[in-house]
């Protein structure tokens, strides 16, 4: 027998209780989505001839990030002190890195959006939103340096995507988060949810093919990284092995394997691969499943660390 | 080292030893802390763990008075994005309330569950009663303990009461594998 009672424990934080609720997974999901959208926009702009979809992706990135930051703000217990994030820089705190990274993401996505317009289409845009005409100089700059802007977009997208995972893996005293794989895993997952979201937003045949190919690669990489994550925990010390057990028979087993692995990865991957040979019509099924799996991955991993 | 020799004064390492052989789980430490530090209703900076091991009739029971371990490698301080969580005098881990955003990164970083969110929005925790130890007094929990189960002091001072106790009794620490280098010593039940 081995029983532990705690008396007079703090009911708000009994060890193992979940202090980060829905807000953090929502933020990590939307942050990864935003990162993926900007990377995809930069990757595909010169490869597919669907400027509307690329513009949509670029515009959706900062909007998704803003909604995510709204959720993050809701999670703060001292909401008026939010400005404190920008009063210092803490080298050891990924959350501090993230706070400053978010600030860099907005100007890059604005530049990216401006670089997608030529002077003609920008003039049309200014006709609709007269305030935009003040950005004419910036637009000419972004257009002239569009390769540089694309690179900045890809870099800040990778930074943001990796950061959403590092945020957890840096809290290494909690065994389930003590894995360097989380950074790349969340980046790839954000990338694949972004491809899925864009499939829903834009139905053009050319971009659909490109997105499907990107998504297949991303999902395959994600499956490999999830395997590495579990192997890493299983080959760690006793506490990490206990953390792995959360997914292998423990309380998170059913949700993890059904929502993340089967719904989010294996079924969409199989359907995507079969789409061409079986001449399946593209539907909303694959993207919706990928989005569900991406969100479930974050929700489950945020809880897992707090349970380990 | 004194100032006369020109060498830097040795850094203190404030720590606490708790003796499960003495502790009866009366929770006077918990109540003294609540009164001393005006800990809000429903929240606690220290608590009692009652752990039972073995197989009937050979059962072993251990009471422990636990609190923040004031780690030498504190994951909460590393996680804090604003510098609110910091290491103060004697290695004590404190929270600067005016810098805290209530983001709870420190709460989830701590493997001991030693932190809670104060109803006013900032994160709060054991301070080793820094306001008392600065005056040379013991923390409130130590002072009130009716069985003298708690000893506070500088663990790096071999002549101090804590240093001598740790030298004379076998001891362990909790969750050392988390790598935080905690400073709460649990004295062994057996032995002398």
Contact A120, A76 (CB under 8 A): no
Question: ∠ CA(A19), CA(A20), CA(A24), 5° rounding?
Answer: 175
The verdict on residue A276 lying in a domain is yes
The encoded tokens of residue A279 equal 């001449």
- Name the percent of chain B lying above pLDDT 70: 94
The verdict on residue A288 lying in a domain is yes
Who has greater pLDDT, A115 or A18? Answer: A115
Chain mean position to CA A229 = 17
Contact A196, A287 (CB under 8 A): yes
pLDDT tens sequence across B128-146: 999 999 999 999 999 999 9
> What confidence score (pLDDT) does residue B31 get?
93
Instruction: Give how far A14 is from chain B: nearest CA, Å.
Output: 6
CA-wise closest residue to B110 among B141, B86, B84, B77: B77
A11–chain B Cβ distance below 8 A for any pair: yes
The verdict on residue A9 lying in a domain is no
Instruction: Give how far B28 is from chain A: nearest CA, Å.
Output: 11
- Name the percent of chain B lying above pLDDT 90: 80
- ipTM of predicted complex: 0.82
Contact B13, B158 (CB under 8 A): no
**CA–CA gap between residue A10 and residue B45 (Å, rounded):** 7
> What confidence score (pLDDT) does residue A3 get?
74
- Name the percent of chain A lying above pLDDT 70: 96
A5-14, A93-102, A249-258, B24-33: which has the minimum mean pLDDT? A5-14
> What confidence score (pLDDT) does residue A280 get?
83
Residue A283: Cβ within 10 Å count: 11
Who has greater pLDDT, A39 or A206? Answer: A39
> What confidence score (pLDDT) does residue A245 get?
95
> What confidence score (pLDDT) does residue A71 get?
94
**CA–CA gap between residue A104 and residue A97 (Å, rounded):** 11
**CA–CA gap between residue A31 and residue A28 (Å, rounded):** 5
**CA–CA gap between residue B11 and residue B97 (Å, rounded):** 25
The contacts of residue A164 (CB under 8 Å, 6+ apart) are: A28, A31, A32, A35, A98, A186, A187, A190, A298
Tokens 């597919």 locate to A48
Instruction: Give how far B125 is from chain A: nearest CA, Å.
Output: 11
Contact A161, A36 (CB under 8 A): yes
Chain mean position to CA B38 = 18
Q: Which 8-state DSSP code applies to residue B7?
A: P
The contacts of residue A22 (CB under 8 Å, 6+ apart) are: A71, A299
The encoded tokens of residue A228 equal 């590495």
The verdict on residue A140 lying in a domain is yes
Confidence class of residue B156 from pLDDT cuts 50, 70 and 90? Answer: very high
> What confidence score (pLDDT) does residue A54 get?
93
Length of chain B: 192
Checking if the pLDDT of A188 tops 50, the result is yes
Average pLDDT, chain A: 91
Q: Over the Cα atoms of chain A, what is R_g?
A: 21
Question: ∠ CA(A238), CA(A240), CA(A246), 5° rounding?
Answer: 110
User: What integer is the mean pLDDT of A68-73?
Assistant: 93
Chain A interface mutation, best of B26, B29, B105, B144, highest count of A Cβ atoms under 10 Å: B105
> What confidence score (pLDDT) does residue A2 get?
77
Instruction: Note whether B117 contacts A15, CB cutoff 8 Å.
Output: no
The verdict on residue A52 lying in a domain is yes
> What confidence score (pLDDT) does residue A24 get?
94
- Name the percent of chain A lying above pLDDT 90: 67
Checking if the pLDDT of A4 tops 80, the result is no
Give domain limits for chain B.
Answer: 15-187
Contact A35, A190 (CB under 8 A): yes
> What confidence score (pLDDT) does residue B72 get?
96
Confidence class of residue B168 from pLDDT cuts 50, 70 and 90? Answer: very high
- Could you tell me which CATH class the domain B15-187 is placed in? alpha beta
Checking if the pLDDT of A8 tops 70, the result is no
Checking if the pLDDT of A117 tops 50, the result is yes
Confidence class of residue A125 from pLDDT cuts 50, 70 and 90? Answer: confident
Give how many domains chain A has, as a whole number. 1
The verdict on residue A13 lying in a domain is no
> What confidence score (pLDDT) does residue B192 get?
46
CATH code at position A213: 1.20.1630.10
- Chain A residues with CB under 8 Å of B51 CB are 2-5
Helices (runs of H) and strands (runs of E) counted in chain B: 6, 10
- Chain B residues with CB under 8 Å of A92 CB are 77-79
Half-sphere exposure of B87 (CA within 13 A, CB side): 17
Instruction: Note whether A76 contacts B102, CB cutoff 8 Å.
Output: yes
pLDDT tens sequence across A95-108: 999 999 988 999 99
The contacts of residue A255 (CB under 8 Å, 6+ apart) are: A296, A300
Checking if the pLDDT of B102 tops 90, the result is yes
Confidence class of residue A37 from pLDDT cuts 50, 70 and 90? Answer: very high
Closest-CA residue in chain B for A305?
Answer: B108
- First CA to last CA across chain B, in angstroms? 33
A171–chain B Cβ distance below 8 A for any pair: yes
The verdict on residue A284 lying in a domain is yes
Domain that holds residue A233: 23-307
């Amino acid at each position: 027998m081995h029983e532990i009672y705690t008396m007079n424990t703090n009911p708000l934080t009994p060890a193992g209780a979940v202090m980060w609720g829905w807000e953090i997974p929502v933020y990590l999901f939307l942050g990864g989505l935003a990162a993926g959208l900007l990377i995809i926009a930069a990757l595909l702009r010169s490869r597919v001839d669907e400027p509307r979809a690329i513009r949509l992706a670029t515009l959706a990135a900062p909007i998704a990030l803003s909604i995510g930051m709204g959720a993050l703000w809701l999670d703060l217990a001292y909401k008026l002190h939010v400005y404190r994030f920008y009063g210092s820089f803490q080298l050891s705190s990924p959350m501090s890195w993230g706070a400053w990274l978010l600030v860099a993401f907005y100007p890059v996505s604005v530049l990216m959006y401006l670089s997608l317009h030529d002077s003609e289409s920008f003039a049309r845009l200014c006709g609709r939103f007269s305030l935009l005409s003040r950005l004419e100089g910036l637009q000419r700059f972004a257009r002239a340096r569009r390769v540089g802007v694309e690179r900045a977009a890809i870099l800040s997208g990778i930074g943001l995507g990796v950061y959403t995972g590092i945020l957890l893996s840096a809290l290494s005293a909690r065994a389930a988060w003590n894995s360097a794989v989380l950074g790349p895993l969340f980046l790839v997952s954000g990338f694949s949810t972004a491809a899925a979201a864009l499939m829903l937003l834009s139905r053009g045949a050319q971009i659909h093919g490109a997105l499907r190919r990107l998504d297949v690669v991303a999902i395959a990489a994600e499956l490999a990284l999830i395997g590495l994550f579990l192997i890493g925990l299983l080959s760690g010390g006793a506490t990490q092995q206990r953390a792995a057990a959360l997914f292998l028979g423990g309380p998170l087993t059913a949700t993890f394997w059904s929502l993340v692995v089967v719904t989010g990865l294996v079924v969409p991957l199989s359907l995507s691969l079969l789409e061409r040979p079986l001449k399946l019509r593209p539907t909303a099924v694959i993207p919706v499943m990928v989005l569900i799996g991406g969100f479930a991955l974050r929700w489950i991993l945020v809880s897992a660390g707090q349970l380990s | 080292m004194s100032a006369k020799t020109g060498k830097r004064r040795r850094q203190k390492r404030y720590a606490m030893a708790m003796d499960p052989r003495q502790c009866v789980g009366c929770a006077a430490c918990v109540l003294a802390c609540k009164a001393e530090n005006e800990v809000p209703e429903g929240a606690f900076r220290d608590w009692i763990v009652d752990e039972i091991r073995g197989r009937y009739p050979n059962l072993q029971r251990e009471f422990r008075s636990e609190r923040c371990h004031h780690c030498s490698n504190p994951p909460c301080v590393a996680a804090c994005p604003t510098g609110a969580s910091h290491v103060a005098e004697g290695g004590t881990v404190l929270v600067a309330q005016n810098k805290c955003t209530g983001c709870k990164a420190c709460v989830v970083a701590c493997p001991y569950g030693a932190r809670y969110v104060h109803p006013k929005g900032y994160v709060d925790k054991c301070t080793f009663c820094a306001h008392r130890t600065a005056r040379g007094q013991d923390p409130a929990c130590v002072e009130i303990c009716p069985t003298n189960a708690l000893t506070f002091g500088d663990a790096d001072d071999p002549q101090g009461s804590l240093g001598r106790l740790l030298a004379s009794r076998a001891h362990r620490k909790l969750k050392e594998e988390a790598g935080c280098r905690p400073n709460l010593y649990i004295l062994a039940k057996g032995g002398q």
